[in-house]
Chain A
Amino acid sequence: MEHVRLSELSRSFLTNESIILWWSVANLILVYLTKDEEAMLEGEYGEGKQIAMSLLVDVGEFFEAEKLIDIASAHISGVSYLTGGDGLIDQLDLFVSKGAKVAVPSTLNPCGMDRDHYQDLYIDLDFATKQFRILDNFERMDVATTCSCTPYDFSHLLTKGQHVAWAESSAVTFANSFFGARTNKEDSLTVLSAAITGKTPYYGFHLEEERIPNVAVDVKAIIDEYSDYSILGEIVGKAFSKHAFPFGAIPVFKGLSNPRPQDLKALGAALASFGTQLFHVEGITPEQELIAKASIQDQISVTEEDIISTYEKFRPTAEPDIAVIGCPNANLEEIAAVTKLVKGRTLKKNKAFWLFSSSAQKAIADKSGYLKVLNEAGVRFVTDTCPEVFKYDKDKFKIILTNSIKAAHYIPAPSLNNIPTYLLPLRECVEEMYQ
């Protein structure tokens, strides 16, 4: 069924076998539920699916979604005890007690620690116990507890136009922009409900007309390092943040040459901090046909000076004791790059260098020979978690260094780790920490 305008409402109502008609004060709103979906809402598929469906109807009605759509996969955020707290445990306990299981292949975002090595990473037992309980609950719901923000690096490849429900802003932006798949930035509760029902409200980025670029960026600077893309995202995100686009700014970039997948990941993660969930790159990303339809409301040029002055704002003003790489989680090429830079070198006294990725990437890094070199150079390969949702021992780590703008934004958040964090390109991070 095509997206139905309100003016076409009566016609669609008459021709559709819809069951439920929703009225509101200002508008007549319909969320069509199929017989099956209505049965879920009535509790015929159990209380777990009923709770999930009730939430999807609240969200769908809010966004005036005309229906729900079947999804191919779900990527679930809200996994770390640091960010989800006891409320997360309660919610999962509830779903598990009702026997809820996911209906589509579902992966998990990073949790708050490395499952295999939490003791030697200074995680206290109380935190670890709660984190294991969260993961155990997800497992009971048949979620693959892979714990990474880059599920597309080892599973969950997407096709253009495919509808999915993904949370985790950087993964959402990558799914929409790199693959041309269709997902809104699902929040942690909606995505859980979507995974359990296999459905999500059909609005926003599921519709082609919402995916057309609304702002333009002319890149006049040389952008090639991972952190350059991160900085570019910061500049662009900030420049357009004054606009109140319903689904964020959708930039189209001109002047980027040969970005690697991890570069587009870095760009998307930085843009996502400012509400962007989709961007297009001329000649690169899959939805080139939408660039021709662009309705540009604002445009900027980004120069070499802009890049340099933005780097300056994040340059260390105190001496870092740890460098954290892998926000979003490092792919094999990034792991190889770190390996090359640290090979045969020794860390300075009282400095730590941590590389965050999935256990899947760790296994590949091991077989590729990288892990041995990293271990010898004192790099800590941390899995299942990420630089932001990991709970650092504040007595040990007082100043953090990273190559990711997203990490530089979130690590210092007052109710998260609250630790000052600075940014340098990867090469300089290595030089800062190594003899």
Chain B
Amino acid sequence: MTSYHARSLRSFKEFSVEGEAIVTSEPITLLGFVDPQSGKIVEEGHELNGQSIAGKIFVFPRGVGSTVGPYTLINLVKNEMGPLAIINRESDQGTVAGCSVARIPMVYGMSDDPTKVIKTGDKIKINAVQNKATVEIMD
């Protein structure tokens, strides 16, 4: 088991989630290229094209594109197709705000690059208290 320090959103106070990771090193365009009905990435040429993020711990560098992107996160959760948690490497206001409102546990500022150390299919456990989190990759 490998463990990393990270940060999480203050408003979540305390949470613990465990699940399977889906990982990409390419940015995600939430509006237009993530289907809120199916939870699938629908971006031709994207390495996750056709794959679903529903119920997974979704690891990607950052969100890009329209300022309306966060509503995609709310719609995913509303359709029960939302990710279990999101781990980001870089800053993106829309993903932070979307997670804060859609109540998707979000982790950032990990002590190593999450898109490199976490592999698709890894079992991940996240524990957070206040804004401190630990991310564990289970063996």
Which residues of A are at the interface with B, using a C-beta cutoff of 8 A?
A: 22-26, 54-55, 57-59, 61-63, 77-78, 80, 83-88, 90-91, 167-169, 172, 184-191, 193, 244, 246, 275, 410, 413-416
**5 A–B pairs (Cβ distance < 8 Å), ordered by A:** A26-B5, A58-B97, A87-B102, A187-B67, A413-B32
Q: Which of B32, B75, B94, B132 has the most CB of A within 10 A?
A: B32
B3 close to A (CB within 8 Å): no
Interface residues of B in 49-93 (CB under 8 A from A): 64, 66-75, 77-78, 90-91, 93
Residue contact A87 to B74, C-beta cutoff 8 Å: yes
In the bound complex, residues from chain A placing their C-beta under 8 Å from that of B72 are 85, 87
Residue contact B75 to A87, C-beta cutoff 8 Å: yes
The chain B residue with its CB closest to the CB of A275 is B64
Assembly CA distance A154 to B74 (angstroms) = 32
The 8 closest A-B pairs by CB, nearest first: A413-B32, A87-B74, A187-B94, A189-B97, A87-B75, A167-B67, A58-B100, A414-B42
In the bound complex, residues from chain A placing their C-beta under 8 Å from that of B10 are 22, 57-58, 61
Residue contact B68 to A83, C-beta cutoff 8 Å: yes
Q: Which of B14-22, B33-41, B115-123 contacts the other chain?
A: B33-41
Interface residues of B in 114-136 (CB under 8 A from A): 130-133
The chain A residue with its CB closest to the CB of B5 is A25
Residue contact B70 to A414, C-beta cutoff 8 Å: no
Q: A58-B97, A58-B100 are in contact. Are A85 and B11 (CB under 8 A)?
A: no
In the bound complex, residues from chain B placing their C-beta under 8 Å from that of A413 are 31-33
How many whole Å from A18's CB to the nearest CB in chain B? Answer: 15
Residue contact B96 to A90, C-beta cutoff 8 Å: no
Residue contact B9 to A62, C-beta cutoff 8 Å: yes
Residue contact A187 to B64, C-beta cutoff 8 Å: no
Assembly CA distance A80 to B71 (angstroms) = 11
How many whole Å from A203's CB to the nearest CB in chain B? Answer: 9
B71 CB contact (under 8 Å) in A54, A55, A188, A275: A188
Q: A87-B78, A190-B93 are in contact. Are A415 and B67 (CB under 8 A)?
A: no
Residue contact A414 to B7, C-beta cutoff 8 Å: no
Residue contact A25 to B32, C-beta cutoff 8 Å: no
Residue contact B11 to A58, C-beta cutoff 8 Å: yes
How many whole Å from A199's CB to the nearest CB in chain B? Answer: 15
Residue contact A77 to B97, C-beta cutoff 8 Å: no
Query: Given A59-B100, A61-B131, 17 more contacts at CB 8 Å?
Result: A24-B7, A25-B109, A25-B132, A54-B100, A59-B96, A62-B91, A85-B36, A87-B102, A184-B93, A187-B70, A187-B93, A189-B101, A190-B97, A410-B66, A414-B42, A415-B31, A415-B34
Count how many pairs of residues, one from A and one from B, have CB atoms less than 8 Å apart in the complex: 145
Which residues of B are at the interface with A, using a C-beta cutoff of 8 A?
A: 5-7, 9-11, 31-36, 42-44, 64, 66-75, 77-78, 90-91, 93-94, 96-98, 100-102, 108-109, 111, 130-133
In the bound complex, residues from chain A placing their C-beta under 8 Å from that of B42 are 414-415
How many whole Å from B108's CB to the nearest CB in chain A? Answer: 7
In the bound complex, residues from chain B placing their C-beta under 8 Å from that of A23 are 130-132
Q: A58-B9, A58-B10, A90-B74 are in contact. Are A414 and B35 (CB under 8 A)?
A: yes
Residue contact A26 to B68, C-beta cutoff 8 Å: no
Assembly CA distance A85 to B102 (angstroms) = 14
The chain A residue with its CB closest to the CB of B99 is A58
In the bound complex, residues from chain A placing their C-beta under 8 Å from that of B93 are 59, 62-63, 184-187, 190
The chain A residue with its CB closest to the CB of B89 is A244
In the bound complex, residues from chain B placing their C-beta under 8 Å from that of A78 are 67-68, 70-71
In the bound complex, residues from chain A placing their C-beta under 8 Å from that of B94 are 187-190
In the bound complex, residues from chain B placing their C-beta under 8 Å from that of A193 are 97
Residue contact A415 to B5, C-beta cutoff 8 Å: no
Residue contact B71 to A83, C-beta cutoff 8 Å: yes
In the bound complex, residues from chain A placing their C-beta under 8 Å from that of B74 are 85, 87-88, 90-91
How many whole Å from B125's CB to the nearest CB in chain A? Answer: 17
Assembly CA distance A91 to B94 (angstroms) = 15
Assembly CA distance A90 to B73 (angstroms) = 13
In the bound complex, residues from chain A placing their C-beta under 8 Å from that of B66 are 77, 83, 169, 410
Assembly CA distance A241 to B10 (angstroms) = 31
In the bound complex, residues from chain A placing their C-beta under 8 Å from that of B75 are 85-87
Residue contact B97 to A187, C-beta cutoff 8 Å: yes
In the bound complex, residues from chain A placing their C-beta under 8 Å from that of B97 are 55, 58-59, 187-190, 193
Q: A188-B67, A415-B34, A415-B36 are in contact. Are A24 and B96 (CB under 8 A)?
A: no
Assembly CA distance A193 to B93 (angstroms) = 13
How many whole Å from B115's CB to the nearest CB in chain A? Answer: 13
How many whole Å from A191's CB to the nearest CB in chain B? Answer: 7
Residue contact B11 to A189, C-beta cutoff 8 Å: no
